[in-house]
Amino acid sequence: MKKLITIILLLALIVPAAALAVTGDSPFFGRWIAQKHGSTANCSAILFYLSISKYTPCSFFKLWIQEGGDFMSPSIEKQEMYDGHWEIVDDHLRIPTSEISYIDVYYDKESDTLYTTEWPVLTFVKIP
């Protein structure tokens, strides 16, 4: 019985320490922005904003920018916003972009950027 209590106490101390080691101070945390390359149909640009934090849900914004709107000023034609919880998958993060879709982002330590490998292929740069 004493051994069982000792093992339970050790596990109670080890598991939270392991959880802190997994999250730590990740290079994924911060605010990131990317622009979609290629055909944007009726828009001048499509921007993707991503905010990843350790303790709060991540935020994902997709903005369609139309230049030359009323009186030749830029305007935001359409936008999508979603907040959700990121999850760790192997060596990357899975970021929800809606209730049923997500993007997988990878970190490139040489250029300090996030990137996706599936459509839309994006490269996120950190916003200071």
| Structure-token pair, residue 58 | 């991540």
Domain containing residue 108: 26-126
Is residue 15 assigned to a domain? no
Q: Which CATH number fits the domain that encloses residue 65?
A: 2.40.128
pLDDT in tens, 34-79: 988 765 566 677 889 999 988 888 999 888 877 765 665 666 666 7
Mean pLDDT, the chain, integer: 78
Is the pLDDT reported for residue 10 higher than 80?
no
Give the integer Cα–Cα distance in Å for 91 and 20.
Answer: 17
What global pTM score does this model have?
A: 0.70
Q: Which of 58, 39, 40 has its CA nearest to residue 49?
A: 58
Give the integer Cα–Cα distance in Å for 28 and 95.
Answer: 11
Please give the pLDDT value at position 125: 94
Is residue 101 assigned to a domain? yes
pLDDT in tens, 67-125: 765 665 666 666 788 888 888 888 889 988 888 888 999 999 899 999 999 878 899 99
